[in-house]
Amino acid sequence: IKALGVGADDYVVKPFDPMELVARIKAHINRIERYKASKTPEAPIEFDDIKIFRNAVRFEAWADGNLIGLAAVYCNTQTKDIAFLTNFSVLPRWQRNGIASNLLSNCIIHICDLGFHSIELEVSTKSKAAMDLYIKYGFVKREQLGNTQKMKKNLKRMENE
């Protein structure tokens, strides 16, 4: 929910319907493509319209031409304090194949390379597999609000490695 307050435009509650997730991802990609096509170098750029586009990073897993996994992180702060992992999902039939680990690992490396100090996320407490994955990658539990667990990973140590 915090990510919505700083500019994210969508939120999926877990557990989720895989068909709904695919539809949301396709709609998001279509919005970006329409937006990119509508801008020319001479056209004025409105900050709020481009904020997500310039500051969002996607990591995708594809199989047979189908999007099967997605990690989306929002990197908006000028001071590079916190990046927000706003979406992380793998279609059910592709889970337990290392795809989530690969997406998360690449996401963490990229965010560290950008110079951010930490990554925050929110995860359903009902999603034990997701929480276990985040803990495996060094995220620590912070505040819990109902069924939502906030987690954070400090990246400063990685910068010195």
Q: Please state, in angstroms and as integers, the Cα–Cα distance from residue 80 to each residue in 51, 75, 76, 92, following that order.
A: 15, 7, 8, 33
Q: How far apart are CA 71 and CA 49, in angstroms?
A: 21
pLDDT at 3: 53
Run of H or E including 59 = strand 56-63
Q: How far apart are CA 25 and CA 18, in angstroms?
A: 11
68: amino acid identity, one letter: I
Q: pLDDT tens digits, the chain, 161 residues: what are they? A: 555 555 556 666 677 777 887 777 777 777 766 666 555 444 434 445 545 556 778 888 888 888 899 998 888 766 678 889 988 999 999 998 999 999 999 999 989 888 899 999 999 999 999 999 999 999 999 999 999 999 999 986 444 44
pLDDT at 86: 86
Q: Which of 93, 91, 90 is nearest to 104 (CA)?
A: 90
pLDDT at 5: 57
| Tokens standing for residue 50 | 């481009």
CB–CB of 1/122 below 8 Å? yes
| Tokens standing for residue 51 | 């904020």
pLDDT at 78: 67
